[in-house]
Amino acid sequence: MSGPDSEAGAGWKELRADEGSAGKRLDQWLATALAPEFSRSRIQALIREGAVTLDGRVVSEPKRKVSMDETYRIILPEPETPEPQGEDIPLEILYEDDALIVINKPAGLVVHPGPGNWTGTLVNALIHHCGESLSGIGGVRRPGIVHRLDRDTSGVMVVAKSDHAHRLLAAAFADHGRDGDLERAYVALVWGAPHRASGTIDVPLGRSSSDRTLRSVVPAGRSDARHAVTHFTVLERYGPGNPGEQIASLVECRLETGRTHQIRVHMAHIGHPLLGDPDYGRAFRTKVNRLPPELAQKVATFPRQALHARLLAFRHPETGRLMHFEAPIPDDMRELLDGFASL
């Protein structure tokens, strides 16, 4: 905690470390002192942005150990709203009852609020659409969310509207459907074409050593390694050549596990990253030069990874009925596929 002589001014605050604070991480100490207005992740971001100084010098390392009697000044932005508010954001609803709602999420829609995206998310839309039926489910910032899609991945999602539905659906997704009827199928437009018509990618994933927001294939013995299995089937091959030599292909991916960025990392691992993937497909950007000018322009300006959650099936948590939902490939991906089909 801060010492008794902490003080604040307009837009800033000074905190002096007492004996009990010595040895603590700077981000931990500040987050405790400034709770609940500022989360630890928000404090870390402010430190990295140069908002924290010690004796007039910027401190940019969140892990720095605090020493007794050190006085830190932190520039405080307006605190962000801790609870999301309802917003009138259009939803494409595939099904809805008192227990759950199934939507076709568009690319570009963030699922739940977080740093940099406190508004305009699916959660904001759900709060507006469902009202109080979402309260208390899954935490204030993630009401009813039992699984998620990346911001730039489109397709089918289910959201719980009751506590009972939330518990059972969350358990089904946590179990990855091994003991139930959960089924998830995605379609991805990837660079190149696997030699085999189908296959399984079974390699563990963990945090990337270069960017903690990304994932990478890691040794099974690493502390953060998570079992990850993707089954793929080649649906279409584009361009001349023998199997494995084409310029691109449309692949269906079925998840046996559900790790962050799993399909994107796994497909890149076998040499076939998704078109438009800004994180895992950078090394393949020059392949656009092999395309006809019109298609090359479309690929170069495609604003997201070409990934769509086509199918979701699960057992209804209230009725026990097997539910099956599909969403057609969206127009932006369809336009790319039509271009590749003409090669």
pLDDT in tens, 90-118: 999 999 999 999 999 999 999 988 767 77
How open is the CA angle 231-166-91, to the nearest 5 degrees?
80
CATH assignment of 179-343?
Answer: 3.30.2350.10
- Would you call 223 exposed, middle or buried from its count of C-beta atoms within 10 A (0-12, 13-18, 19+)? exposed
Per residue of the chain (343 residues), give pLDDT as tens. Answer: 344 345 544 478 889 988 888 999 999 999 888 876 777 888 898 998 889 999 888 999 999 999 999 999 998 876 555 678 889 999 999 999 999 999 999 999 999 887 677 789 999 999 999 987 775 666 666 788 999 999 999 999 999 999 899 989 988 988 876 767 899 999 999 999 999 999 999 999 999 988 888 999 999 999 999 999 999 999 999 998 887 789 999 999 999 999 999 999 999 999 999 999 999 998 888 899 999 999 999 999 999 999 999 999 999 999 999 999 999 999 999 999 999 999 9
pLDDT at 3: 42
The per-residue pLDDT for range 45-66, each reduced to its tens digit, is: 899 888 999 988 899 999 999 9
Architecture of the domain delimited by 7-75 = Roll (3.10)
pLDDT at 6: 52
Q: How many CB atoms lie within 10 A of CB 40?
A: 16
Give the Cα separation of 24 and 31 in Å (integer): 11
For the record, the structure tokens of 116 come out as 């940099």
Domain 7-75 matches domain 83-174 at the CATH topology level? no
Domain ranges, ordered by start, for the chain: 7-75, 83-174, 179-343
Q: What is the pTM of this model?
A: 0.76
pLDDT at 9: 44
Give the Cα separation of 339 and 295 in Å (integer): 6
CATH assignment of 83-174?
Answer: 3.30.2350.10
pLDDT at 79: 58
Catalytic residue among 150, 152, 277, 279: 150
Active site residue 181: no
pLDDT at 139: 66
